Amino acid sequence: MTTLLDVRELTVHFETDEGTVQAVDAATLSVHAGEIVGLVGESGSGKSVTALAILKLIRPPGRIVGGAIEFDGRDLLRASEQEMRGIRGSQISMVFQSPRTSLNPVIPVGRQIERLLRLHARLSADGARRRALAMLGEAGIAEPERRAAQYPHQLSGGMCQRVMIAMALATSPRLLIADEPTTGLDVSIAAQILDLLRDLGRRTGAAILLITHDLGVVAGICDRVAVMHAGQIVEWAGVHRLFKRPAHPYTRGLLQSIPRLDREFVMEPIAGAVPSLLDPPAGCRFAPRCALVMDACRACRPPAVEIAPGHTVACLAVEEART
C-alpha cells in the first residue's frame, strides 16, 4: 500500500500569557491511500490540533515547532501558503463537528458547493451546478434540487452534516479529515453518517483520518488507530489488534471506562484527569494517572516500540514486561 500521508514527530506549541502550551508532542502517524485511520483520545489530547497542523491551519499564537508532514510525496511544511490553498479543499478536505456553524448561514447550501467547485475544480457555472446536485444525491439527500436551494437553518443537523460531506468530497480529494463528524448527532443519525462516510470513502477512493473520542465509532469503521493522550500518541495498531490486545495502560483504561451494550461489564475508570499542557509531566505524560508507573517513567519520555508488526506502544512498563 502506498503511504498517502506521513506525519513524523509533529510538535505544535501555543504561546500564551501563562507560558507555552505543548499541545502536540512528537506525534507520528501515517495514512495509506484509501484506508480509514482513527485518531482517538479525550478532550485536550491534541487530536484536533494535529488535524489543523496537517492542513497548516495553525494560527498564531500557535506554531508548528518541529517534525515533518509529507502528503503524496510533498513536504507540506515547506509548501508556500499559495500551494497550501491549492491542496486544501481539493486534495485534502475537512469535515467538522458542528456542521451548522461550518456552513455559511446566508448562502443556499447548493451554491456553497458550487462556489467550491468553481474555485478548486475550475468547472463552469453549469457544470458546477450539476456536480453539486450529483454530490448531494450521493450523500443521501432526497430531492437534491429542493434541498440545494435551502439555507442551513432549514436543514436538520444530520442533513447539514450530509451537505458538509458532499462538499468535502465534491472535488475528489485524496484525503478527508473528519473531526468528530457524528458528535452531537442522535445515535441513529450518527450511524447513518458513519455508513455514508465509509461508503463514499470506498467509492471515491479517498482515505479518511477520523478524529473521535468514541472507541465504538473507531471499532465500527477504522482500519488502523492512533491513541492520543495529552499531546502524545501512546499506541498505534490495526483496529482488531488494538481492541483484542490493547497494550498501553491508557488505552486499556479507556476501554475499561465505557459501559458496554454487548456484554456484562464492570467499569474501572482511569484515575485523574488529562494533565495541563502548560507544564506537562517531564517523562510519560500518563505517569501521574498510571497504575503501573515506575521511577523511570517520570524521568524520560518512553520511546515508541514496535511490539508486533504494525503495533507500536510508548510505555516502559509494557516494554519491561516483554523483555
Partner 1 sequence: MTPLLTVDDLHKHFPLRSVGSWLRPASVRAVDGVSFALCAGETLGLVGESGCGKSTIARCLVRTLDPTAGRVVFDGVDLATLPDEALRRRRRDFQMVFQDPTASLNPRLTVQAMVEEPLRLHTDLVPAARRQRVAEILAEVGLEASLAHRYPHQLSGGQRQRVNIARAVATRPRFLVLDEPTSALDVSLRARVILLLAELRARLGMTYLFISHDLSTVKYLSNRVAVMYLGTIVEEASAADLFRRPQHPYTRALLSAVPVPDPDARRDRLTLRGEIPSPIAVPTGCRLRGRCPLAQPVCAEPVVLREIAPGHRVACHLV
Q: Which residues bind partner 1 (CB under 8 A)?
A: 42-43, 142, 156, 158-159, 186-192, 194, 213-220, 239-240, 243, 253-262, 265, 267, 269-270, 273-274
Rounded to whole angstroms, the Cα distance separating 41 from 232 reads: 10
Please name the residues in contact with 30: beta carbons below 8 A apart, sequence gap of 6 or more: 3, 5, 6, 7, 37
Which stretch of DSSP H or E encloses residue 114? helix 109-120
Minimum distance from residue 75 beta carbon to partner 1 (Å): 34
Rounded to whole angstroms, the Cα distance separating 65 from 229 reads: 19
Minimum distance from residue 260 beta carbon to partner 1 (Å): 6
Question: Are 286 and 302 within 8 A, CB to CB?
Answer: no
Minimum distance from residue 65 beta carbon to partner 1 (Å): 27
Minimum distance from residue 285 beta carbon to partner 1 (Å): 14
Beta carbon nearer to partner 1, 203 or 260: 260
Rounded to whole angstroms, the Cα distance separating 304 from 72 reads: 25
Rounded to whole angstroms, the Cα distance separating 7 from 46 reads: 14
> Given strand 74-75, what is the order of strands in its sheet?
19-32, 3-16, 62-71, 74-75
Beta carbon nearer to partner 1, 269 or 309: 269
Q: Which DSSP category does 276 fall into?
A: P
Beta carbon nearer to partner 1, 6 or 223: 223
Minimum distance from residue 320 beta carbon to partner 1 (Å): 24
C-alpha cell belonging to residue 232: 502524545
Beta carbon nearer to partner 1, 160 or 170: 160
Residue that the C-alpha cell 511490539 belongs to: 307
In terms of C-beta density within 10 A (0-12 exposed, 13-18 middle, 19 or more buried), how is residue 106 classed? exposed
Rounded to whole angstroms, the Cα distance separating 271 from 274 reads: 10
Beta carbon nearer to partner 1, 123 or 178: 178
Beta carbon nearer to partner 1, 106 or 266: 266
Torsion of CA 113, 116, 120, 125, to 10 degrees: 70
Beta carbon nearer to partner 1, 107 or 265: 265
Minimum distance from residue 157 beta carbon to partner 1 (Å): 9
Minimum distance from residue 43 beta carbon to partner 1 (Å): 5
Q: Which DSSP category does 88 fall into?
A: B
Beta carbon nearer to partner 1, 91 or 232: 232
Minimum distance from residue 169 beta carbon to partner 1 (Å): 22
